[in-house]
Amino acid sequence: GQQVMQIPQYQHVQEGEDFTTYCNSSTTLSNIQWYKQRPGGHPVFLIQLVKSGEVKKQKRLTFQFGEAKKNSSLHITATQTTDVGTYFCAGSSKIIFGKGTRLHILP
Amino acid sequence: EAGVTQSPTHLIKTRGQQATLRCSPISGHTSVYWYQQALGLGLQFLLWYDEGEERNRGNFPPRFSGRQFPNYSSELNVNALELEDSALYLCASSLRGTTVDTQYFGPGTRLTVL
């Protein structure tokens, strides 16, 4: 069945540094969704990517969908303390989530 | 517009007991999803209901069951509770059951099994 792998599992960055998390699927995806979960909170939808090679931006966040539609990335430029949390990707079915990347920001 | 609501916020049970968790989707949403999130871990899919029917089930034993009511609210039942069932149980709803519809998550029910 479909599997979605996320790396890294944890990332510590200094405030102001960039951060990237990667999501890889064993099968071609029709779309991919990204979520953010703050500590003690619940996942909040960030974005959905559908097209091969698609790139979408939300302020300091850049989302990419691979040409083969088997991988995706989330890049945060100049991290801020408000970016702390766990970032999850979810595959085509919406119900298969990666294990998430937990981002810690060092002041 | 009210978001997804879940009750109770916290639930403490002992081994062997039964737990019932409730979820009310966003108004107009017909699909409800249940996930288990053990401490520090990712989201494990439990169940998906749409239009009152169970559409998909994750890799969990039969003691995890649920239903969706005519008003699209949903209930998750966990029988014969085990210590490892302690987790945050998240409910999400989407407008329909298609793969492109966004899931909106509720705040979760924290289940502790002693």
Cross-chain Cβ contact B90/A43 below 8 Å = yes
Query: How far is B42 from chain A, CA to nearest CA, in Å?
Result: 4
Share of chain B above pLDDT 90, in %: 89
- Considering only CA atoms, which of B27, B34, B29, B26 is closest in space to residue B55? B34
Tell me which amino acid residue B12 is. I
With cut-offs at 50, 70 and 90, classify the pLDDT of residue B9.
Answer: very high
Q: According to the model, what pLDDT value does residue A45 have?
A: 94
Q: What is the mean pLDDT of residues A51-59?
A: 97
Best mutation target, A33, A35, A87, A95, to test chain B (most B CBs within 10 A): A95
Name every chain A residue with its beta carbon within 8 A of the beta carbon of B43. Answer: 43, 88, 97
Share of chain A above pLDDT 90, in %: 85
Over the stretch B47-73, which tens digit does the pLDDT of each residue have? 999 999 999 999 999 999 999 999 999
Would you say residue B1 has pLDDT above 70?
A: no
Cross-chain Cβ contact B99/A31 below 8 Å = yes
- Considering only CA atoms, which of B81, B108, B113 is closest in space to residue B22? B108
- How many CB pairs below 8 A link A and B? 47
Q: What is the mean pLDDT of residues A88-92?
A: 90
Q: What is the mean pLDDT of residues A90-105?
A: 90
Would you say residue B41 has pLDDT above 80?
A: no
Cross-chain Cβ contact B102/A45 below 8 Å = yes
Query: How far is A31 from chain B, CA to nearest CA, in Å?
Result: 7
Average pLDDT, chain B: 94
CB B78 within 8 A of CB B61: no
CB A80 within 8 A of CB A18: no
Q: What are the residues facing A88 on neighbouring strands?
A: A35
Nearest CA in chain B to A5: B42
Q: What distance in Å separates the CA atoms of residue B112 and residue B114, rounded to the nearest whole number?
A: 6
CB B34 within 8 A of CB B44: no
| B33 vs A44, A45, A95: nearest CB | A95
A71 — contact with chain B (CB < 8 Å)? no
Would you say residue A93 has pLDDT above 70?
A: yes
Q: What is the mean pLDDT of residues B87-92?
A: 97
- Name, in order, each residue with C-beta under 8 angstroms of B49's C-beta and a sequence gap of 6 or more: B31, B32, B33, B55, B66, B67, B68, B74
Query: How far is B97 from chain A, CA to nearest CA, in Å?
Result: 10
Handedness of CA B6, B78, B101, A11 (dihedral sign): positive
| A96 vs B45, B92, B100: nearest CB | B45
